[in-house]
Amino acid sequence: MRLPNAPAPILSPSGAQAAVVQDNVLALIDTATGARRDIALPAHGSGVAFAPDDARLAVAAGNAVALLRVGASALAQVRAALPGALFRWVLGREVLVAVLRSGERESVLCAWRVGDDDSLTPLGPPDGLALGALAVYHMALDEARGRVLLGGVRGRGAYSGDGTPFTGSVGLTPDLPVLWKGEGLPFTPHAYLYPLEDGDLVITQRDRMARLSLNALPDVEVVDERAFDTPLERVALSPNGRLLAWMWAGEGDAMNLHVAHVAGLQPVASGRFTLAGNFPALAVDDAGTATIVAGARPDQMLVVRISAGQGVRTQSVTVPAEADSA
């Protein structure tokens, strides 16, 4: 018998909304109030991606994807088929990009235009862009410049975490051109913050951060590189690309968090809190309020919000629990 797992919540870019998918139910939680709304799914749910403005999200159920307006009671009727198992994806205001497993070791990138009526129109080749043996663990959209950033591992054992680190960028035009394959990186990234307000990319590794200009891909320019006094264990960028939040572990379940301006790292907010939960996610809004969510128990999600004016606020929210399996 396998016991139910704690939920792995997904945060919207601002942290205002959290989503938990369990079986055929999508739970949407307002992280400020704890209010929860359940949406029935037509098949087993396998993924959620929020738009940058938090107003819409993509939901994968079975072998199809549909859009949902925050506040609506059901998924849009127009759906797109997924030609493989969903691995990572990212939703913009006008485009949806997904990396799917097309075989035991192979990946494919597919993209769709998002219509005002929540329709999804394929962008690019019918079968997508073949990525080969590439496991993508990070995706970020720069819709203003028409490209998507990919970060992951390449090689025959990529899906088991064994391979060569990979960073790249793909253009969001009908031929889905590969714009960059990671040339010029000053170090191997552990995390990515993208896009900044001006389209720059920030990469981090342990206690190091570098800012790169991507204005002349495939050539990149390192415009800033610095060391931090604290570990950059988990990082997040505000939707407007101006604020950076990072957290790191203390003793036991104790956690520390800072929010600062990307330019100059002037502090905005900070706090210490206890995080007795699994699968934490971090977001920061344009005003500097940071939100952390984590699965506390199979039917509980922990929410921590930190801001300069209100300090640290913590609450526990009941969520749908995974069914027991014998």
Tens of pLDDT, residue by residue over 117-147, are 899 999 988 889 999 999 999 999 999 999 9
Residue 79 clears pLDDT 90, i.e. is over it: no
Would residue 112 count as lying in a domain?
yes
Label residue 303 exposed, middle or buried (CB < 10 Å: 0-12, 13-18, 19+). Answer: buried
Per the structure, the complete domain to which residue 131 belongs is given by 84-179
274 strand-pairing partners: 254
pTM: 0.93
In a domain, 96, yes or no: yes
Q: How far is CA 237 from CA 15, 120, 224, in A?
A: 11, 27, 17
pLDDT of residue 258: 97
Q: How many CA atoms lie within 13 A of 26 on its CB side?
A: 31
Q: Is residue 109 part of a domain?
A: yes
Q: Is residue 120 part of a domain?
A: yes
Tally of residues, the chain: 326
Residue 132 lies in a domain: yes
Total number of domains constituting the chain: 1
* Residue at 110 is within a domain: yes
Which one, of 245, 202, 248, lies nearest residue 225 by Cα? Answer: 202
Model confidence pLDDT, tens digit, residues 139-184: 999 999 999 999 999 998 888 888 999 999 999 999 999 999 999 9
Alpha-carbon gap, residue 324 to 3, rounded angstroms: 6
Instruction: Tell whether 70 is covered by a domain.
Output: no
pLDDT digits (tens, 9 = 90+) for 299-319: 899 999 999 988 999 999 999
Q: Is residue 202 part of a domain?
A: no
- Which residues, 6 or more positions from 264, have their beta carbon under 8 angstroms from its beta carbon? none
